[in-house]
């Protein structure tokens, strides 16, 4: 039997799922495993680019492609990534196509017989498919331990069914801290039976039947919740993050992460280099949230009123000379010249967050963004939109004390709750200046230092990865998988 472990990684096709999975593949490869990333043809070039630095170093990482059934579900050719979906109808079609990937995956598993399959949360059928070949399946959520615990508690105890209104706060039962939330802040599929509610149950079942969970977090960030998840909820879990720290030293990685940035690394660095320490606020809402024009207008006004310098990422195309942009106040960019930088499209987020000029981050609390901010020692203005972001907000503001909420009260897929300019101005000022802001910054910095230690030899994430690899070796030895 070959002594090298061969691990399959099968991420959901969206930047925020693919990036940490690719990084995880590199992490396993750097520890002597062979890693294969399963994806679709349109996503493969990006993955090849992202793993280049690893393969150049002699790491064994490859890409295996399976066909994405765009034609069968009525999606345009090449539409193989959730980031290119522009309507609910497209999302539904995309999900249908995703659920047709079980057969091609089975074929690949049969051909390659890997030692383990790390498959995304959104592929619940992967547990059964891999069981056919005696291959252990690990689930990758991309969630924090905190969010995993909160979700498990809500699913088990259903406290949201015992309140009389959507705005009445209730406690999420049995967590290490008293965490209150409202029904408004929960996803629609938790509040009413939708197609996705059934799917959620399947996810939960497939997770319980899986070999365990792999978490992109580190112990020191959320020790009570890492313990709670394992010891109280009884889940088998390994934390190996922050995964992006394993790529830190590779030149150029920060600039190309996710997709090609709309601004050059040089231009961005030059702009930030000209600013004082902690004087710039970075505003970005991840890869999926897409605010309406009136909300963007409020953000512009709030930022201007705060008087702070900023980099603001907006999902809009290049500005055409002479064309009025409805989402910006008249003359805004002229007034803000030198003070505010608008990036239309994709920004090199890691590079920005790690620049010493950046003093705070207005974020939607996606777990990748949250973790990147924590690691850079940057406190946050929390503005959750959807997914599990309202739980992450509680972790940041209430448990870690490194952020202030902007006051978003409603979960709303893609568009978010509306927040007015005064609330934005207030939150930006609170996080950028004053004693409280200083304290939050210093707590963030301490957590950032702990993150770097966690991934180094002897650190908590490094050791948990060692334990997982040992476990998989033992498993293979006992069960005879390849
Ligand atoms: N990101 C980036 N540039 C952008 C927008 C996002 O590099 O302009 C990256 C960001 O660094 C993070 C990811 O995209 O790694 C977003 O993931 P997250 O979990 O925060 O949110 P999601 O996109 O899933 O809502």
Give Cβ neighbours of residue 323 (< 8 Å, ≥ 6 apart): none
Task: Provide the H-helix boundaries in 281-328.
Answer: 293-306
* Assigned token pair, 355: 């620049």
* Residue range 199-255, pLDDT digits in tens: 888 888 999 999 999 999 999 999 999 999 999 999 999 999 999 997 655 545 555
Whether 437 shows a pLDDT value over 90: the answer reads yes
171: which DSSP letter? E
Whether the model pTM is above 0.85: yes
User: Considering 120, 141, 160, 228, which one is annotated as catalytic?
Assistant: 120
Least confident of 85-99, 113-127, 309-323, 347-361: 309-323
Work out the pLDDT band at 148, boundaries 50, 70, 90.
very high
* Assigned token pair, 331: 């003359």
Cβ atoms of 278 and 358 within 8 Å: the answer is yes
Work out the pLDDT band at 478, boundaries 50, 70, 90.
confident
Percent of the chain residues topping a pLDDT of 70: 96
Give pLDDT, residue 254: 56
Work out the pLDDT band at 1, boundaries 50, 70, 90.
low
Cα 86 to averaged position of ligand 1 atoms, centre (Å): 17
Q: What is the mean pLDDT of residues 371-377?
A: 97
Give pLDDT, residue 248: 59
Whether residue 16 has its Cβ less than 6 Å from ligand 1: yes
Q: Which atom of ligand 1 is nearest to the CA of 257?
A: 7
Give pLDDT, residue 235: 95
Whether residue 374 has its Cβ less than 6 Å from ligand 1: no
Q: What is the mean pLDDT of residues 7-21?
A: 96
Q: What is the mean pLDDT of residues 334-353?
A: 95
* Residue range 29-63, pLDDT digits in tens: 999 999 999 999 999 999 999 998 888 888 999 99
Work out the pLDDT band at 477, boundaries 50, 70, 90.
confident
Whether 256 shows a pLDDT value over 60: the answer reads no
| CB neighbour class for 227 (10 Å; exposed up to 12, middle 13-18, buried from 19) | middle
Whether residue 313 has its Cβ less than 6 Å from ligand 1: yes
Distances (CA, A) of 230 to 239, 322, 331: 11, 58, 54
Ordered domains of the chain (ranges, CATH): 6-246+453-480 (3.40.50.2000), 257-451 (3.40.50.2000)
Give pLDDT, residue 445: 97
Angle between helices 421-432 and 435-454 (to 10 degrees): 70
Work out the pLDDT band at 320, boundaries 50, 70, 90.
confident
Residue 17: active-site member: yes
Cα 369 to averaged position of ligand 1 atoms, centre (Å): 6
User: Considering 17, 141, 228, 364, which one is annotated as catalytic?
Assistant: 17
Whether 480 shows a pLDDT value over 70: the answer reads no
Whether residue 349 has its Cβ less than 6 Å from ligand 1: yes
Give pLDDT, residue 382: 98
Cα gap 327→385, rounded to integer Å: 19
Q: What is the mean pLDDT of residues 66-70?
A: 97
- Taking CA atoms only, the protein residue closest to ligand 1 atom 24 is 16
Residue 120: active-site member: yes
Whether 160 shows a pLDDT value over 60: the answer reads yes
Give pLDDT, residue 193: 82
Q: What is the mean pLDDT of residues 162-173?
A: 97
Cα gap 126→130, rounded to integer Å: 6
- Taking CA atoms only, the protein residue closest to ligand 1 atom 11 is 349
Give pLDDT, residue 258: 62
Mean pLDDT score of the chain, rounded to an integer? Answer: 93
Whether residue 243 has its Cβ less than 6 Å from ligand 1: no
Whether residue 369 has its Cβ less than 6 Å from ligand 1: yes
Work out the pLDDT band at 475, boundaries 50, 70, 90.
confident
Q: Which atom of ligand 1 is nearest to the CA of 365?
A: 20
Report the number of secondary-structure helices (H) and strands (E) in the chain: 20, 15
Whether 482 shows a pLDDT value over 80: the answer reads no
Cα gap 301→299, rounded to integer Å: 5
From 85, 369, 373, give the residue whose CB has the most ligand 1 atoms within 8 Å, as the site to mutate.
Answer: 369
């Amino acid at each position: 039997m070959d002594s090298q472990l061969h691990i399959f990684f099968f991420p959901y096709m969206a930047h925020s799922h693919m990036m940490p999975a690719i990084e995880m593949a590199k992490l396993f490869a750097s520890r002597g495993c062979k890693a294969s990333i399963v994806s679709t043809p349109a996503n493969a070039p990006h993955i090849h680019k992202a793993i280049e630095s690893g393969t150049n170093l002699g790491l064994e990482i490859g890409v295996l492609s399976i066909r994405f059934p765009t034609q069968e579900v009525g999606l345009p050719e090449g539409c193989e990534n959730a980031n290119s979906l522009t309507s609910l109808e497209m999302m539904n079609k995309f999900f249908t196509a995703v659920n047709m990937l079980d057969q091609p995956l089975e074929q690949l598993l049969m051909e390659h017989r890997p030692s383990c399959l790390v498959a995304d949360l959104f592929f619940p059928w992967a547990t059964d498919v891999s069981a056919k070949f005696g291959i252990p399946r690990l689930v990758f959520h991309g969630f924090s331990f905190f969010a995993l615990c909160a979700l498990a508690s809500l699913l088990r105890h259903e406290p949201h069914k015992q309140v009389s209104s959507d705005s009445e706060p209730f406690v999420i039962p049995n967590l290490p801290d008293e965490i209150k939330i409202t029904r408004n802040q929960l996803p629609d599929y938790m509040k009413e039976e939708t197609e996705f509610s059934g799917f959620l149950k399947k996810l939960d079942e497939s997770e319980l039947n899986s070999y365990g969970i792999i978490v992109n977090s580190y112990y020191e960030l959320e020790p009570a919740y890492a313990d709670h998840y394992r010891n109280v909820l009884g889940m088998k879990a390994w934390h190996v993050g922050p995964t992006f720290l394993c790529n830190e030293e590779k030149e150029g990685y920060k600039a190309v992460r996710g997709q090609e940035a709309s601004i050059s690394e040089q231009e961005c660095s030059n702009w930030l280099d000209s600013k004082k320490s902690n004087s710039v606020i970075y505003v970005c809402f991840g890869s999926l949230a897409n605010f309406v024009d009136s909300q963007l207008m409020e953000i512009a006004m709030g930022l201007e009123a705060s008087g702070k310098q900023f980099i603001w990422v907006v999902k809009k195309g290049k500005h055409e000379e002479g064309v009025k942009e409805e989402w910006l106040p008249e003359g805004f960019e002229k007034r803000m010249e030198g003070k505010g930088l608008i990036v239309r499209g994709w920004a090199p987020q890691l590079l920005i967050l790690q620049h010493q000029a950046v003093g705070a981050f207005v974020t939607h609390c996606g777990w990748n963004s949250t973790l990147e901010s924590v690691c850079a020692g940057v406190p946050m203005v929390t503005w959750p939109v959807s997914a599990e972001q309202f739980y992450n907000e509680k972790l940041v503001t209430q448990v870690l004390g490194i952020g202030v909420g902007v006051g978003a009260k409603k979960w709303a897929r893609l568009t978010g709750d509306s927040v007015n300019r005064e609330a934005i101005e207030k939150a930006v000022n609170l996080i950028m200046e004053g004693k409280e802001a200083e304290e939050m910054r210093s707590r963030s910095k301490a957590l950032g230092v702990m993150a770097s230690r966690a991934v180094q030899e002897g650190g908590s994430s490094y050791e948990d990865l060692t334990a997982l690899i040992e476990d998989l070796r033992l498993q293979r030895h006992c069960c005879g998988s390849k």
